[in-house]
Amino acid sequence: MLGKPYNCKVATTMDMIVGKWKIAILLNLLHNGTMRFNELQKMMPGVTQKMLTSHLRELEQEGVIKRVTYPQVPPKVEYSMTEYGKTLQTVLEMMHEWGASHLAKKQQQ
């Protein structure tokens, strides 16, 4: 990575997780486990149904979250992290730590 910046895959990672609500979705599923759509929506005040649906679909297409639909009336849909998606936890924790350190540094200026 250091020798060939044009070949760096940080942008690939960022493209997948960047979105106004994607990190909130990922953190909620990582910390709370399986959640229904309405539960996720309640945990993120301000998110529209359309935006939440869009982000969930994108994360599902990337293989990071899993959507399970139960054949019942009314329909029951649950979302959870895939094993692959759980590998993002370390990345997100490291980004959180860096962000906290950066904010502390800015406050010292």
Full pLDDT tens readout for the chain, 109 residues: 555 666 778 888 888 888 889 999 999 999 999 999 999 999 999 999 999 999 999 999 999 999 999 999 888 999 999 999 999 999 999 999 999 999 999 999 8
CATH 2.60.40.60 is the classification of domain 5-108: no
Cβ 23 vs Cβ 93: under 8 Å: no
Domain ranges across the chain: 5-108
The conformation of residue 87, written as its DSSP 8-state character, comes to T
Concatenated DSSP letters for 20-65? TTHHHHHHHHHHH-SEEHHHHHHHSTT--HHHHHHHHHHHHHTTSE
Identify the bridge partners of residue 77 per DSSP, sorted by sequence position.
69
The owner of tokens 């997780």 is: 17
Q: What is the pTM of this model?
A: 0.86
Contact 77, 69 (CB under 8 A): yes
Three-class secondary structure of residue 67 per DSSP? strand
